[in-house]
A and B are shown apart, each in its own frame.
Chain A
Amino acid sequence: EVLSEDHDEL
């Protein structure tokens, strides 16, 4: 599902 809160992509 949706990524964890901290967006790990640039």
Chain B
Amino acid sequence: MNIFRFLGDISHLSAIIILLLKIWKSRSCAGISGKSQLLFAIVFTTRYLDLFTNFISFYNTSMKVVYVASSYATVWMIYSKFKATYDGNHDTFRVEFLIVPTAILSFLVNHDFTPLEILWTFSIYLESVAILPQLFMVSKTGEAETITSHYLFALGIYRTLYLFNWIWRYQFEEFFDLIAIVAGLVQTVLYCDFFYLYITKVLKGKKLSLPA
């Protein structure tokens, strides 16, 4: 464990908590893409199948349980508990265009052609594009609530910090996972536009509004 990975995990955890609290407290999932949250639930499910068979550390296991539980809770709130506030008309990204290519790619490019490894690879590829429905929805509505932009910022920063974690691990641990690194780069690049808007607008107290 290094500081970049730890800060990355904390940032990821806080993004998940921010979203849970936003929906629960405001009893509304307005402006939130249910499709992205569904994709994240798939990402965690396919990545943590070894949750019970492969103990790495208490930290690792407990974080995995929290990620899986909170992603399902978020999906449940959007599609069940507060579905009346779900803005389906603006959440129209075709997720099959994300799931099918990443699934095919995980069969073609992976470290080991075994079910668990292919599912892990699929989850890595899917995670790198899972935020697209959410970013697409923000661009369609032309704006995002400030709390939603904090959620997106924390979520974007987590994988950016992981990029530094991989540099660190390459330098000091001879650790190198090209699949995770390339997917992490794609994931971070997708946030660049949002990062720019967040830093130039939200941090100056303005509302995040995209040129529609």
A-side residues, CB < 8 A to B, are 1-3, 5-10
Contact = CB atoms under 8 A, between A and B. Distances in A.
Nearest to A1: B176
Contacts of B63: 10
Main secondary structure of the interface of B (DSSP, over half): helix
A3 B12 contact: no
B60 A8 contact: yes
Interface in B160-187: 162, 165, 174-178, 180
B54 A2 contact: no
A5 to B, nearest CB: 7
B143 interface: no
Chain A binding site: helix, strand, loop or mixed by DSSP? loop
Given A7-B120, A9-B180, A1 B174 contact: yes
Contact of B175 (A3, A5, A6, A10): A3
Question: Chain B interface: which size bin?
Answer: 20 to 34
Nearest to B54: A6
B161 to A, nearest CB: 12
A10 B174 contact: no
Contacts of B60: 8, 10
Contacts of A6: 50, 54, 56
A7 B162 CA distance: 14
Contacts of B176: 1-3
Contact of A5 (B5, B64, B112, B162): B112
A4 B56 CA distance: 12
B210 to A, nearest CB: 30
Interface in B104-156: 111-112, 117, 120
Contacts of A5: 111-112, 117
B9 interface: yes
